[in-house]
C-alpha cells in the first residue's frame, strides 16, 4: 500500500479557564526548522488558491481560525482534507500538487515552511508537475 498523502498531526493545546494556547515546535509537531511563516486570510468567497507543487519545500499548514479544504495530488492519487481546527496540522512535503478550496470568510491559514520564498522551487503547471513526478 502506498503512503497516505494526507499527513495530519495533533497540535498540543494547553487549555485552562482563560482559553487555549497551541504549540508548534521543532521536535514536537514540526519535523523541520522553520525559516518562514506566512498566513492566508481575508480570502474572498468562492476563491480557490494554490494550484502548485514544490520541488523541495516542506510545510506545516494550520488553520488557526475558520476552515478550508486542502486537496493533495501526487501525480496518481488525489486526497482531500478539511482543516477546521487549530489542534490539527497538515504536513506537506515536496512532490505534492496542492489546491485550497472552500475557504470560510473567517479562515486564517498559517503556513510554516523550512525555507525562504523561492519562485524557482515552484511548479505551477499541472502537466509539468505530472511529468516531474512520473519521470
Ligand atoms: P502564491 O504562492 O502564488 O499563493 P497561492 O499558491 O497560495 O495562491 O503566492 C502569492 C503571491 O505572494 C505571489 O506573488 C508570491 C508572493 N509570495 C511571497 O512573496 N512570499 C511568500 O512567502 C509567499 C508564500 C508568496
* Tens-level pLDDT at each residue, the chain (135 residues): 677 899 999 999 999 999 999 999 999 999 999 999 999 999 999 999 999 999 999 999 999 999 999 999 999 999 999 999 999 999 999 999 999 999 999 999 999 999 999 999 999 999 999 999 998
Ligand 1 binding residues, C-beta < 6 A: 36, 38, 40, 49-50, 52, 117
Strands 19-22 and 78-83: unpaired
Looking at residue 135, what is its pLDDT?
Answer: 83
* Residue having the nearest C-alpha atom to atom 17 of ligand 1: 117
Looking at residue 10, what is its pLDDT?
Answer: 98
CA angle 35, 134, 121 (to 5 degrees): 25
* Residue having the nearest C-alpha atom to atom 18 of ligand 1: 117
pTM of the entire predicted model: 0.96
The Cα–Cα gap between 72 and 35 comes to 23
The greatest distance separating any two alpha carbons of the chain, rounded to the nearest whole angstrom, comes to: 54
Ligand 1 midpoint to CA 78 (Å): 23
Assign 120 to helix, strand or coil. helix
Looking at residue 1, what is its pLDDT?
Answer: 60
Looking at residue 31, what is its pLDDT?
Answer: 97
Q: Which CATH number fits domain 7-11+30-134: 3.40.50.150, 2.30.130.10, 2.60.120.10, 3.20.20.80?
A: 2.60.120.10
Assign 57 to helix, strand or coil. coil
Structure-block grid coordinates of residue 60: 506545516
Ligand 1 midpoint to CA 61 (Å): 14
Ligand 1 midpoint to CA 93 (Å): 17
Amino acid at each position: 500500500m502506498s503512503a497516505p498523502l494526507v499527513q495530519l498531526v495533533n497540535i498540543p493545546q494547553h487549555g485552562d479557564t482563560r482559553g487555549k494556547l497551541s504549540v508548534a515546535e521543532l521536535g514536537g509537531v514540526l519535523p523541520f526548522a522553520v525559516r518562514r511563516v506566512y498566513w492566508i486570510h481575508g480570502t474572498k468567497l468562492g476563491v480557490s488558491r494554490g494550484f502548485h507543487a514544490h520541488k523541495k519545500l516542506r510545510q506545516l499548514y494550520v488553520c488557526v481560525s475558520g476552515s478550508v479544504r486542502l486537496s493533495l495530488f501526487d501525480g496518481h492519487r488525489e486526497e482531500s482534507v478539511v482543516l477546521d481546527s487549530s489542534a490539527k496540522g497538515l504536513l506537506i512535503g515536496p512532490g505534492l500538487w496542492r489546491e485550497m478550496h472552500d475557504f470560510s470568510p473567517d479562515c486564517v491559514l498559517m503556513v510554516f515552511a523550512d525555507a525562504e520564498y523561492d519562485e524557482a522551487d515552484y511548479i505551477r503547471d499541472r502537466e509539468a508537475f505530472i511529468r516531474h513526478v512520473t519521470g
